[in-house]
Amino acid sequence: MRRLAFAGRRLALAVPVLFGVAVLNFFLIHLAPGDPASVMAGEGGSATPEYMDMLRHKFGLDQSLPLQFWHYIVNIVQLDLGYSFRNDETVLSLILDRLWPTLLLMVTAFILSVVCGTLLGLLAGTRRNSPRDGIISVLALLASATPTFWLGLMLIVLFSIRLGWLPTSGLETIGAFNEGWAYVVDVARHLILPALSLAMFYLALYVRVMRASVVEQTRQDYVTTARAKGQSERGIVFGHILRNALLPVVTMAGVQAGNLIGGSVIVEAVFGWPGIGTLAFSALQGRDLNLLLGIFIVSACVVVVLNLMVDLAYGILDPRVEL
């Protein structure tokens, strides 16, 4: 009940946050030179000034900036994200089409990095300064120093081109028209490399955070208490240390949740993943302002929800936290 009230309060607080995001995005984007009309006209190559004025009028770009902003806000409140003239479709349907591949990629990468990072960190921290710890720590250091795009390219070179085990890009095999289980397997095979690339940096970060946290918790008095009870070392690690050591990782996961969307732009570009990232990139190229703004606001919503979930998880994990 208390958690529900907390979630309600946080969602209410999200409204001014999202409004701020909308304000910032709108004006920042209008600071950039060029508008959709000039880009479209430029592509055609033979636009007259009259034709461009006509386009601007059609897109509403001839109105004053405050007026445009007013329309924008009113539309958002009505969940109308506008119309993409380049794609000849509503922004909402464009985004909804591309949202699920991105969410799939994000959630997979998130779970992969948290679970593997925690486990490896635990393995390293419980045997401090052993060869096992050394190997894990060095690998984590390497992984956190590797740029995401380079890692992605190298994974493609190794697993797709050299070994031929996994597909190079895309969400599914084009023209295969798989259905049912075969479709799931196909998407999963396409998912492995991009998810791995996106997860790697945070995975390495979690290893290091978790390792330090385990080492610190091992020195705590309650661990001695558990030993004095006659608890086994394994029982101490899984019964006592693990949950306490997880707390800093959860804090870090909140930060990662916010960064995932940004990171996915690069990964989606490398792997030709048909998600929000590639959509945003093409919208940027074509000065498709409506689409771009829509993507921003949807991303902001996703981040707000993810952060709320992380905070709730923290509250469940640590009874001392008062929500």
What residues make contact with another protein under the rule CB under 8 A?
220-222, 224-232, 235, 239-240, 243-244, 317-320, 322
Residue type, 91: V
CB of 235 to another protein, least distance (A): 8
| Token pair 């409004």 in the structure block, residue | 19
Cα pseudo-dihedral 99, 100, 105, 109, rounded to 10: 100
Contact (Cβ atoms closer than 8 angstroms) between residue 197 and residue 263: no
DSSP, collapsed to helix, strand or coil, labels residue 83 as strand
Closest CB to another protein among 2 and 162? 2
Cα 312-313-314 angle, rounded to 5 deg: 90
Q: Which is nearer to another protein, 98 or 240 (CB)?
A: 240
Q: Which of 154, 191, 149 is nearest to 170 (CA)?
A: 191
Q: How far is the CB of 237 from another protein (least distance, A)?
A: 13
- State how far the Cα of 188 lies from the Cα of 165, in Å rounded to an integer: 13
Least separation in angstroms between residue 74's CB and another protein is 35
Strand intervals (E) in 51-158: 83-84, 89-90
DSSP letters of 246-296?
HHHHHHHHHHHHHHHHHHHHHHHHHHT--SHHHHHHHHHHTT-HHHHHHHH
3-state helix, strand, coil split of the chain in percent (to 5) is 80, 0, 20
Taking the complex as a whole, the smallest distance from the CB of residue 6 to another protein amounts, in Å, to 10
Complex with another protein: residue 232 or 259, whichever CB lies closer: 232
Nearer to another protein, 112 or 308 (CB): 308
For another protein, the closer CB: 150 or 238:
238
Q: Tell me whether residue 247 or residue 284 sits nearer to another protein (CB atom).
A: 247
Least distance in angstroms from the C-beta of 220 to another protein:
6
**Least CB distance to another protein at residue 14 (A):** 19
Give the nearest distance from C-beta 132 to another protein in angstroms: 17
Burial letters 229-257, b for 16+ CB under 10 A, else e:
eeeeeeebbeebbbebbbbbbbebbbebb
Between 226 and 260, name the residue whose CB sits nearer to another protein: 226
